Amino acid sequence: MKRLFAYLCPFAGRMSVGLTIKTAGTLVELALPYILGMLLNDIIATYAGSGDTQGGLRSILIWGGVMAVCAVAALVFNIVANRMAAFVAKDVATAIRHDLFDSTMRLSCARADAFTVPSLESRLTSDTYNVHHLVGMMQRLGVRAPILLVGGLLITLTLDPILTLVMFSVMPLIVLTVYIVSKRGVPLYSQSQQAGDAMVRVVREDAQGIRVIKALSRKEYEQSRFEAVNRELMHDSLRAAANTSVSNPLINLFLNVGLVAVMFVGAIRVNNGLCLPGTIISFIQYFTILSNALLSITRIFMMFTKGTASMNRICEVLDAKDRDESESAAEGVMPLPENPERYISFENVTFSYRGKTDNVNAVSFDLPQGGTLGIIGATGSGKTTLLSLLMRFYQVPVGSGTIRIGGRDIRTMTPAELRSRFGIAMQNDFLYAGTIEDNIRFGRDITHEQVVHAAAMAQAHEFISKLADGYDHKLTVKGTNLSGGQKQRLLIARALAGNPDILVLDDASSALDYKTDAALRKALRENAEVQKASLTTTVIVAQRVSSIKHADLILVMDQGEVIGCGTHDELLDTCTVYSEIAESQMGGAILE
């Protein structure tokens, strides 16, 4: 919880004012039963014995007015303090959510995989809500309940110490109940939140794959998957709720026993002339106040239990060590002299996601600046892994090879420095709800003319121009109001718009027809010839031989290894797998 206190520190001044107002309102509230007891014992009894009806009525009206003023003051003070507490809780939750989102965006891909996307979503939503609720409740009840409890006990001691001791006899049982329930609650709520993550994951998968589920008539299967995780969540939530549900009935039982004992002993003392009836009435009111204070403290402990579990989950992300920005252990690695013929260089690179089976093994190649690299191979052969390593989404361990760009080990570059060189379009990339131009610009300082030029190269300008509002056409979430080919062309336009040093196309033309794909490749070649000074280096992952046929270097991947390396013509002669792929896709065209 130290991290939560750090977030509260900037609001210390505002919290102090709010807590002061809350304290004043609570103290005024505590005075009401005391005034009532005094009114019954002193004023009414005194004037009733003296026969001075008018004087008694005047005193009753005065002290009644004082009680009304106290009641209104307590109401106003509590409303103002609660509003201030709500604003502090809102601002603290906003700051936590901002830092949590920032940390989530900075996580390394490996660490994000370990957390899982549904879990990160849950931490950003339900966990921050729990912390928000905790901060607000601690300011409202965290001040009021202890003051009512301690203040009420002190006042009752002045009224009748014997009755106070009778009432206080049940306190140890209540404290023990709260302690046991809260101690068991943290792990139970943590387990319940993990079950919630699992349910979010299934819902997220089914929402994204709803069309496939309908097309394959797998509604019943997905329903069974959801029922399984929902049942698990229900079971874990039930255990957590059962643990906390024990506290209120037990505390009410102990309080009721204490109240019966107080009334029994009080009746005896009144009968023996040791206590006044007004004192018993005040005492019962204070007992009610103390009961509510204890129940509020129980709620605080329950919320504290849930909030602590949520804050711990948030801190796991905030304190994650392997951030994307962290520098590698490539200290002392000297850059090589820049060599245009070795602009992108893989030197015996080996990598495993889980540290067991190598996903790529001993990959080595050199690509000249301005050249084009094509990568082809079966699904799962390691094609996308090479791109992830090149952009340092995942990091090559020390001793498992080196990746260089312009002679520099990429582990010595900051992520911002490295990735500013790239423009990338991936097969399953995303489009957000906004205009076409905004999606292509993607928050960069790019002019409208550059957007149009990139769209023209990506073969997207033609269909955009036919839309009624052109580049201002609004896309739905994930671009569902476009066809697959149209979305891919916008993604390619986004990659081209920044005029990158290295253009990466990861199966980005799979939804394009052959004519559009050919036109795209022609536009890229022509642009490369026109923009020779920029020397854009291109990396293409594709399933089609036609997409990489003109590449300067082609890698044929199989189970993480390079089984063929060379130009299209060289591979037709030296790599059986490539030759078979080319023959199956292009037939006699490979001889042209």
Closest CA to 167 of 156, 178, 151: 156
Q: How confident is the model at residue 425 (pLDDT cuts 50, 70, 90)?
A: confident
Looking at 273, 301, 318, the residue that finishes a domain is 318
Looking at 535, 556, 585, the residue that finishes a domain is 535
Over range 126-140, report the average pLDDT.
88
Higher pLDDT, 337 or 133: 133
Same domain, 437 and 311: no
In a domain, 463, yes or no: yes
Total domains in the fold of the chain: 2
In a domain, 284, yes or no: yes
Q: Which CATH number is 108's domain given?
A: 1.20.1560.10
Q: Positive or negative CA dihedral for 222, 227, 228, 234? A: positive
Same domain, 294 and 435: no
The model's pLDDT over 554-566, given as tens digits with 9 standing for 90+, comes to 999 998 899 999 9
Q: What pLDDT is attached to residue 335?
A: 63
Buried b (16+ CB within 10 A) or exposed e, 470-499: ebeeebeeebeebeebbbbbbbbbbbbbbe
- With a CB cutoff of 8 Å and minimum separation 6, the contacts of 283 are 37, 156, 159, 160, 163, 262, 266
Closest CA to 542 of 585, 478, 574: 585
Max mean pLDDT among 196-200, 220-224, 438-442 falls in 438-442
In a domain, 568, yes or no: no
In a domain, 288, yes or no: yes
pLDDT of 171 above 50: yes
What is the residue-averaged pLDDT of the chain? 82
pLDDT of 69 above 80: yes
In a domain, 295, yes or no: yes
Q: What pLDDT is attached to residue 533?
A: 47
In a domain, 193, yes or no: yes
In a domain, 531, yes or no: yes
Q: How far apart are CA 377 and CA 386, in angstroms?
A: 12
Higher pLDDT, 182 or 416: 416
Looking at 484, 516, 535, the residue that finishes a domain is 535
Q: What token pair was written down for 147?
A: 């003051």
- Determine which helix (DSSP H) or strand (DSSP E) holds 412, and give its type and residue range: none
Same domain, 301 and 437: no
Buried b (16+ CB within 10 A) or exposed e, 203-220: eeebeeeeeebeeeeeee
> 246-255, 381-390, 426-435, 574-583 — which is least confidently predicted?
246-255
| Residues paired with residue 538 on neighbouring β-strands, in sequence order | 372, 503
In a domain, 57, yes or no: yes
What is the domain range of residue 451?
Answer: 422-499+502-535
Q: Which CATH number is 494's domain given?
A: 3.40.50.300
The model's pLDDT over 513-533, given as tens digits with 9 standing for 90+, comes to 778 877 877 777 776 665 554
Q: How far apart are CA 471 and CA 512, in angstroms?
A: 21
Q: What pLDDT is attached to residue 151?
A: 84
Q: How confident is the model at residue 431 (pLDDT cuts 50, 70, 90)?
A: confident
Same domain, 14 and 134: yes
**Hunting for tokens 């402990």 — which residue is that?**
301
Same domain, 428 and 310: no
Q: What pLDDT is attached to residue 592?
A: 41
Same domain, 83 and 203: yes
